[in-house]
Amino acid sequence: MEQGPSRPDILIHHKAPGDPTELAAVAVLAYSRVPELQHRTLQEFLGHTVDTTEALHRVELELVVDGQQVGAAVLVPEEDMHVGPCVSVFWNYVAEEHRHLGFVQAVFRTLKAVARSMGIGMVAYTHRKSEGRYITQYRRT
């Protein structure tokens, strides 16, 4: 009997400012597949993404399937200009062929749990609707 794809692992990394990111490979994957990220070279994009990510107090979520990174999300506490204190998805990406694995739901569960553990009652995330079109949504924990 043929087996389907392996069950994904979701790894959680708590990071302080200056700690190296675990997610550079996912940023490269996102760059290769999202046209609006390609307004600069891969090296410029990756340098900016790694530098800004590593400057933050954050929780990194890593989606791994068969030993390969196929998705990631970076969660950060912040003071949002619209709602005040919240935990936001700073950036995220999941390879299209792996989006059916439940990672998005796991990101939301973890996002809310991180916010609650910090005593923050609001979360924020941005969703890509189409090329160049994004919306930000807020939810109470």
Q: The CATH number of 9-140 is which of 3.40.630.30, 2.40.40.20, 3.30.450.20, 2.40.30.10? A: 3.40.630.30
Res 109 pLDDT > 90: no
Q: Residue written as tokens 């400057």?
A: 55
Res 59 pLDDT > 80: yes
Res 2 pLDDT > 80: no
In this prediction the pTM is 0.87
CA 120, CA 107: separation in Å to the nearest integer?
Answer: 17
Compute the mean pLDDT over every residue in the chain, rounded to the nearest whole number.
91
Domain ranges of the chain: 9-140
Tell me what the mean pLDDT of segment 5-30 comes to. Answer: 91
pLDDT band at 74 (very low <50, low <70, confident <90, very high): very high
pLDDT number for residue 3: 59
Name the percent of the chain lying above pLDDT 70. Answer: 96
pLDDT number for residue 110: 87
Tell me what the mean pLDDT of segment 25-38 comes to. Answer: 95
pLDDT band at 6 (very low <50, low <70, confident <90, very high): low
Between residues 32 and 107, the one the model is more confident about: 32
Tell me what the mean pLDDT of segment 15-32 comes to. Answer: 96
Q: Which neighbouring-strand residues pair with 76? A: 88
Q: DSSP assignment, residue 48?
A: H
Number of helices (H) and strands (E) in the chain: give both, helices first.
Answer: 3, 6
